[in-house]
């Protein structure tokens, strides 16, 4: 069945380091792809999205490109900040029914 | 900016008791969802609701669970007889703007209700 696989965490980086969190998906069609972020003690917030192949989603310095050939949607940021410490979830959805989430990757950024 | 709200933020209940978790979705959205997240684990889909009926549900959503949209604004999740393993964070979400493109699939999540079953 369809699924989303993220790199396992936790990931610990120093401030201003480059971030990559890998995400790959299996799908029978062409879902929309999302990254959500969960800050400590809070709910899920949409970080960015891409709805078709080669689309690049971006927000708050984060980027991810919908790669159909590698079925990937890796999250990147050039220079992380302490405030980026959170759990990041990759997800996909075909329609307005259900969204499939990856297991989440915890990021800790140290000053 | 419109947001999804949930009440209560934390609910403690005894095993076997009924609980109702409440959500107010974004007002012009058409699709409503419940998810749960057991502490430190994956976000799991429970159920989706559209046009006043369940459109999809997962195997987690058994006969102990039910959802309702009792009026034009609230969306509730009821657990009839809670078990210890129901302890989790429950998130409500909504999507699909009326008058907008229903091809836009991003879901907006509430802050969650932490359910503790003792």
B47-61 pLDDT, tens digit each: 999 989 999 999 999
Please tell me the distance from the alpha carbon of residue B17 to that of residue B73, in angstroms, as a whole number.
26
pLDDT at B102 over 70: no
Q: Do A32 and B106 touch (CB under 8 A)?
A: yes
Q: How confident is the model at residue A8 (pLDDT cuts 50, 70, 90)?
A: confident
φ, ψ of residue A84 in degrees (nearest 5): -85, -5
Per-residue confidence (pLDDT) for residue B74, from 0 to 100:
94
Structure token digits, residue B99: 């008058």
**B110 and A43: CB-CB below 8 Å?**
yes
Q: List chain A residues with CB under 8 Å of B44.
A: 101
What mean pLDDT value characterizes chain B? 91
Q: Kindly identify which residue of chain B lies nearest to residue A106, measuring between CA atoms.
A: B40
Q: In chain B, at which residue ranges do the beta strands (DSSP E only) sit?
A: 5-7, 10-13, 19-24, 29-37, 43-50, 53-57, 65-68, 75-79, 88-97, 108-109, 113-117
Residue B99 has pLDDT above 80, yes or no: no
Q: What is the pLDDT of residues B31-85, one digit of tens each?
A: 999 999 998 788 899 999 998 999 999 999 999 999 999 887 899 999 999 999 9
Per-residue pLDDT tens for A20-32?
999 999 988 888 9
* CA atoms of A84 and A69, how far apart (whole Å): 29
Q: Which of B43, B45, B111 sits opposite A89 (nearest CB)?
A: B43
Residues 23-42 of A with CB under 8 A from B: 32, 34, 36, 42
pLDDT band at B10 (very low <50, low <70, confident <90, very high): very high
- Tell me: pLDDT of A94 over 60: yes
Contacts of A102 in chain B (CB under 8 A): 42
Phi, psi of B64 (to 5 degrees): -75, -15
Rg (CA), chain B: 14
Beta strand A75-77 pairing with A62-65? antiparallel
């Amino acid at each position: 069945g369809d699924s989303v696989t993220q790199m396992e965490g936790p990931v610990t980086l120093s401030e201003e380091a480059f971030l990559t969190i890998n995400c790959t998906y299996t799908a029978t069609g062409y879902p929309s792809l999302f990254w959500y972020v969960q800050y400590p003690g809070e709910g899920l917030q949409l970080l960015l999205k891409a709805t078709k192949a080669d689309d690049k989603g971006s927000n708050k310095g984060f980027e991810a490109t919908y790669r159909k050939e590698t079925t990937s949607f890796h999250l990147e940021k050039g220079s992380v900040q302490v405030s980026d410490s959170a759990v990041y979830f990759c997800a996909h959805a075909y329609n307005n029914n259900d969204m499939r989430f990856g297991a989440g990757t915890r990021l800790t950024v140290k000053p | 900016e419109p947001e999804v709200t949930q009440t209560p933020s934390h609910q403690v209940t005894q095993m076997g008791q009924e609980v109702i978790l409440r959500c107010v979705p974004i007002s012009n959205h058409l699709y409503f969802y419940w998810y749960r997240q057991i502490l430190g684990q994956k976000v799991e889909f429970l159920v989706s609701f559209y046009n006043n009926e369940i459109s999809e549900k997962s195997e987690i959503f058994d006969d102990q669970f039910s959802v309702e949209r009792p009026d034009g604004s609230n969306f509730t999740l009821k657990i009839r007889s809670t078990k210890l393993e129901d302890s989790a964070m429950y998130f409500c979400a909504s999507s699909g703007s009326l008058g907008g493109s229903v091809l836009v699939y991003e879901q907006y999540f509430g802050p969650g209700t932490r359910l503790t079953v003792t």
